[in-house]
Structure formats: structure tokens, C-alpha cells
């Protein structure tokens, strides 16, 4: 290639791997490292931790959360938040379980029902935020209550017990694929699908772009509103699916199913490296974050530490992760702004 002859040596050597890039890549490996260390600590503290059975339990617990964390991650990527994820799960779970109870011969269309309900709920969020210009916290705070309230109203205080649910539903989550719980397999599949979508499809890349630089997105004609609507819709879809899985797993669907999952999903996502300021992070990271949370939970249980420490840890980790992300973000911004007279000034 003759172009090599054209190449002029730069006046100043340009760092190929700058700190920011390093730091970004570090985040994912950081999660893994954290996971490893946590696992190590717990295995030292209690003998029951390091067993296949226990690992399987952790994975199962993490599985559903990882899907919800992925949903949260998608929304976070666009610089928004969704605190209604738990309520979306709950409403979907109840509606589908109730439907199944009334139609005992229902087949796989139950899954479709869950997806559709989730999609609708998520789209409502998206419409409020993207087109109603409502701040995402307030909008999803409102829908969180609305959806949960609807669940209550619909249920009239009844719960759907497991004997009313179709057997295939309950059994499928207990299946094992070469020893790995079906639940985990499903979740790995789903997360992989979502990750592929975000990474390899132009619409997925636009989700990153919108969160990374909304101003530039306008300039590039990226139609921010549609992208945000899509993000919320997709998130709702995933939450709906997660709700169904959760119903299948616990068997008895109550009206308070999945309350509090907004905090967990957020914690999982930010621990996994998804930035609250948008534009960076992966759903794989969010899934890993779910795994971290599940590991911590498990360890706490085994050690007999009360459950509410978990809330404390989750909350603190959100703050800590936000701090780390802002730190990295500042570096990125500084690098982008550049310096006017970088090599001349004092």
C-alpha cells in the first residue's frame, strides 16, 4: 500500500491505549474480579458456599434478575431510568397466571401474552418519557404505582396458587440441561440475544449513541424519541418475560410479586458497569452484576446475616458505582474537549 509512504510521523506520540479506554475495559473485568473476590471471601467464611448445589442456587437466583437488569440497562443506556420494572413484572405475572388459571389448556401462547403485556406497559413508559417530556424518574415512579395498583385491583386480594398454573410451566423451570437449571439456560439465551441486538444492529447502536451524546444525535438525525420509546418498550418486554419466569419459579403469584426489584435491577446494572449517565455499559455486564448480587445474597444467608443488610449494600453500591462512572466520564469529557493550545501553554 503506497499510503504508507504518505504517512507523516506525528509531532507528539499519540497514546493508543489511553487511560479512559483502559478504565472502560477495566469495568467489566472489575466486575469479574469483584465476583471472584466475593466468592473467595464467602467460601473461606463458610464451607457450604463452595458446592455445586449452592452455585446452582446462586445461578438460578441470578437468572431472572439478570433479565430485569438487562431491561434496566437498556433504559439506562439512553440516559433514563425505569423504576417500574418490579411493577411491570408483577402485573404481567399476575395477569398471565390468572389467565392460565382460567384456561388450563393454555400452551406456549402464554409466553406471547406475557411479552405483549410487558411491551404495552413498557411502551406507556416510553410514551411518557419520550413524547410527554416527563422526567423519567417521575414518569416511572407514577407508573410503578399505577401498575402495582392495577395488579391489586385486578386481583381483589386473591393470589394465584400453584395448583392453578399449567404443569408444563412449573416443570419447565425445574428441568436441567446437563445439570444446568433450565432457568439459567433461558436467561443466558435471552441476555445473549439482547446483547447481540445491542451490539450488532444499527438500532441497538443508536441506543448507545443517544445516551452518549444527545446533542450529536440530533445533529446526526437519529430521532431520539423513537429510540427512547424503543428502549422502554424493549425493557417492558423483558420485564414481562421475567415476570412470567418468576411466576413459574415461585408457583404462587401474589400481588406484591417482585416489589423492590427496581432497586435490585438498578444495583445489578450499575455494578455491572452500566453508567447512569448513559452511553456506556453492556447487558452482559448487567447480568454479571446480577450474579454478584445473588452471590452476596447467598453468602449473607449462609452466614446468617439478616436480609436487610442487602438493601444497605445495594444502595451503597449504586452510589459507589455512580461515583466511579462519573469519574470515568469526567476523564472522557476532558479528552473530548481537548485543549486549545495543548502543546504550547504553560
- Binding residue for another protein (CB under 8 A) from 57, 120, 152, 185? 152
Work out how close the CB of 94 gets to another protein at its nearest, in angstroms, rounded to a whole number.
12
CB of 36 to another protein, least distance (A): 24
Q: Encode burial over 70-95: b for 16+ CB neighbours within 10 A, e otherwise.
A: bbbbbbbbbbbbbbbbbbbbbbbbbb
Is 266 within 8 Å of 81 (Cβ atoms)?
yes
Q: Are 274 and 77 in contact (CB under 8 A)?
A: yes
**Closest of 97, 154, 85 to residue 122, by C-alpha:** 85
Q: Smallest distance from the beta carbon of 169 to another protein, in angstroms?
A: 26
Task: Report if residue 40 touches another protein, rule: CB under 8 A.
Answer: no
Q: Does residue 338 belong to the site contacting another protein (CB under 8 A)?
A: yes
Question: Residue 108, interface with another protein (CB under 8 A)?
Answer: no
Return the half-sphere exposure (C-beta side, CA atoms, 13 A cut-off) of residue 23.
14
Residue placing its CB nearer to another protein in the complex, 55 or 322: 322
Q: How crowded is residue 259: how many other Cβ atoms within 10 Å of its Cβ? A: 16
Residue 295 CB neighbour total at 10 angstroms: 24
User: Smaller CB distance to another protein: residue 178 or 312?
Assistant: 312
* Nearer residue to another protein within complex by CB, 134 or 170: 134
C-alpha cell read off for 17: 491505549
158 binds another protein (CB under 8 A): no
Does 304 sit near another protein (CB under 8 A)? no
Question: Among the candidate windows 19-27, 43-51, 94-102, 173-181, which touches another protein by CB under 8 A?
Answer: 19-27
Q: Are 239 and 89 in contact (CB under 8 A)?
A: yes
Q: How far is the CB of 302 from another protein (least distance, A)?
A: 18
Angstrom distance (rounded) from CA 123 to CA 231:
9
By CB under 8 A, residue 341 contacts another protein: yes
* Residues 160-219 contacting another protein, CB under 8 A: 200-202, 205-206, 208-209, 212-213, 215-216, 219
Burial of 240 (0-12, 13-18, 19+ CB in 10 A): buried
Q: Does 323 bind another protein (CB under 8 A)?
A: yes
* Residues in 280-299 at the binding interface with another protein, rule: CB under 8 A: 280
The stretch near another protein (CB under 8 A) out of 89-97, 167-175, 178-186, 330-338 is: 330-338
Residue 73 Cα distances to 11, 22, 165, 199, 263, angstroms: 41, 21, 31, 13, 13
- Alpha-carbon Rg of the chain, whole angstroms? 22
**Nearer CB in complex with another protein: 103/333:** 333
Kindly identify the residues of this chain, within the stretch 125-144, that bind another protein according to CB under 8 A: 128, 132-135, 137-139, 141-144
Q: Which is nearer to another protein, 71 or 270 (CB)?
A: 270
* Binding status of residue 313 toward another protein by CB under 8 A: yes
State the nearest-atom distance from the C-beta of 181 to another protein, in Å: 28
**Minimum CB–partner distance for residue 95 and another protein (Å):** 15
**Contacting another protein within 208-247 (CB under 8 A):** 208-209, 212-213, 215-216, 219-222
Q: Is 27 in the site for another protein (CB under 8 A)?
A: no
Is residue 71 part of the contact set for another protein (CB under 8 A)?
A: no
**Dist. CA 119–CA 108, nearest whole Å:** 17
Counting contacts by CB under 8 A, is residue 322 touching another protein? yes
**Backbone phi and psi for residue 282, each to the nearest 5 degrees, phi listed first:** -135, 155
Separation CA 346–CA 334 (nearest Å) = 18
| Per-residue 3-state assignment (H helix, E strand, C coil) for 184-201 | HHHHHHHHHHHHHHHHHC
Q: How far apart are CA 28 and CA 219, in angstroms?
A: 31
Instruction: Count residues binding another protein (CB under 8 A).
Output: 94
The sign one gets for the Cα dihedral 27, 189, 69, 233 is positive
Amino acid at each position: 500500500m503506497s499510503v504508507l509512504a504518505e504517512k507523516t510521523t506525528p509531532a507528539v506520540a499519540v497514546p493508543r491505549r489511553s487511560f479512559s479506554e483502559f478504565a472502560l475495559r477495566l469495568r467489566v473485568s472489575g466486575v469479574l474480579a469483584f465476583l471472584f473476590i466475593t466468592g473467595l471471601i464467602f467460601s473461606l467464611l463458610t464451607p457450604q458456599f463452595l458446592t455445586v448445589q449452592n452455585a446452582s442456587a446462586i445461578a438460578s437466583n441470578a437468572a431472572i434478575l439478570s433479565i430485569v437488569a438487562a431491561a434496566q440497562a437498556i433504559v439506562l443506556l439512553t440516559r433514563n431510568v425505569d423504576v417500574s420494572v418490579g411493577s411491570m413484572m408483577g402485573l404481567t405475572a399476575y395477569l398471565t397466571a390468572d389467565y392460565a388459571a382460567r384456561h388450563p389448556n393454555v400452551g406456549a401462547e402464554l409466553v406471547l401474552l406475557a411479552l405483549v403485556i410487558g411491551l404495552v406497559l413498557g411502551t406507556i413508559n416510553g410514551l411518557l418519557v419520550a413524547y410527554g417530556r416527563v422526567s423519567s424518574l417521575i414518569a416511572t415512579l407514577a407508573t410503578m404505582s399505577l401498575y402495582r395498583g392495577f395488579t391489586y385491583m385486578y386481583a381483589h386480594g386473591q393470589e394465584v396458587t400453584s395448583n392453578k398454573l399449567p404443569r408444563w410451566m412449573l416443570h419447565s423451570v425445574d428441568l436441567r440441561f446437563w445439570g444446568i437449571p433450565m432457568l439459567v439456560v433461558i436467561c443466558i439465551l435471552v441476555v445473549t440475544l439482547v446483547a447481540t441486538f445491542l451490539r450488532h444492529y444499527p438500532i441497538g447502536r443508536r441506543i448507545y449513541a443517544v445516551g452518549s451524546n444527545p446533542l450529536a444525535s440530533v445533529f446526526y438525525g437519529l430521532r431520539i424519541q423513537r429510540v427512547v420509546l424503543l428502549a422502554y418498550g424493549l425493557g417492558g418486554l423483558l420485564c414481562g418475560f421475567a415476570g412470567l419466569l418468576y411466576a413459574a419459579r415461585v408457583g404462587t403469584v401474589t400481588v406484591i410479586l417482585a416489589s423492590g426489584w427496581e432497586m435490585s435491577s438498578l444495583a445489578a446494572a450499575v455494578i455491572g458497569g452500566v453508567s447512569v449517565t448513559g452511553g456506556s455499559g453492556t447487558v452482559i455486564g448487567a447480568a454479571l452484576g446480577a450474579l454478584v448480587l445473588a452471590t452476596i445474597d447467598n453468602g449473607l444467608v449462609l452466614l446468617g446475616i439478616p436480609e436487610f443488610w442487602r438493601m444497605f449494600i445495594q444502595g451503597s453500591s449504586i452510589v459507589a458505582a455512580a461515583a466511579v462512572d462519573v469519574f470515568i466520564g469526567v476523564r472522557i469529557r476532558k479528552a473530548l474537549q481537548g485543549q486549545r493550545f495543548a502543546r504550547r501553554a504553560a
